[in-house]
Amino acid sequence: MIKIILATSNPHKLEEINAINTNPEIVFDVVDGDFDPEENGVNFKENALIKAKEAAKIMKTYCLADDSGLCVDVLEGRPGIHSARYAQTQKEKIEKLLAEMKDVPYDWRGAHFVCSMVLVDSDGNLVHAQEGRVYGFIDDSPKGTNGFCYDPIFFIPAKDKTMAELPEEEKNAISHRSNALRPMLKWIEENLI
């Protein structure tokens, strides 16, 4: 069995990661105390490494971090690594993005979620990295109540639904997070258990 610390303060990520992981030999736990390192990297992977290394410093064991965000084509990839700080609340983030996209026609509303996931050892050395993505479009109004943050405006044509209209298992089958986590779990099974 291996215990891995999740270097996050976002309870939704923890929930999703625990739901995606079906291997009882891999157990996730959280960092003791408050955890809010400054994410001043220039890309998703750098920010994921900052979080994972900081958690390893505190917890002295294997730590996994997820840095993720929404990249909108017509906004040249914004909000991207700034997705969490784009506006204060979930509601304000959605309103701000819909305002920026106000006159953009459907065909130009392409976007994708990215998840950069890194695993470091107890000394903070990178041992494995994976990236996952999911492609869709920015809807013109929020729909659905599942998931979190930008999910109500992320429309997935193959499902004819927004991410927030999908039941938890369906989001977890296609999400950027699961597309990074599934190969990460496989690597952990093959190399660390």
Q: Which residues contact ligand ITT (rule: CB under 6 A)?
A: 8-10, 13, 39, 51, 66-70, 83-84, 113, 147-151, 175, 177
Are the beta carbons of 55 and 39 closer than 8 angstroms? no
Q: How far is the CB of 126 from ligand ITT (least distance, A)?
A: 17
Q: How far is the CB of 150 from ligand ITT (least distance, A)?
A: 4
Q: How far is the CB of 162 from ligand ITT (least distance, A)?
A: 10
| Between 63 and 188, CB nearer to ligand ITT | 63
For residue 12 the two structure tokens come to: 């939704």
Q: How far is the CB of 30 from ligand ITT (least distance, A)?
A: 10
| Between 103 and 157, CB nearer to ligand ITT | 157
Q: Is 29 a catalytic residue?
A: no
9 Cβ contact list (under 8 Å, min separation 6): 34, 35, 36
| Between 91 and 191, CB nearer to ligand ITT | 91
Q: How far is the CB of 10 from ligand ITT (least distance, A)?
A: 3
DSSP secondary structure string for all residues of 133-192: EEEEEE-SS---SSS-TTGGGEEETTTTEEGGGS-HHHHHHHSHHHHHHHHHHHHHHHHT
Q: Of these residues, 66, 67, 139, 151, which one is catalytic?
A: 67
The residue type at 53: K
| Between 85 and 193, CB nearer to ligand ITT | 85
Are the beta carbons of 79 and 69 closer than 8 angstroms? yes
For residue 104 the two structure tokens come to: 């953009």
| Between 138 and 149, CB nearer to ligand ITT | 149
154 Cβ contact list (under 8 Å, min separation 6): 70, 111, 113, 136, 137, 138, 139, 162, 163, 164
Q: Bridge-partner residues for 128, per DSSP? A: 119
Are the beta carbons of 128 and 186 closer than 8 angstroms? no
Q: Which residues are catalytic?
A: 67
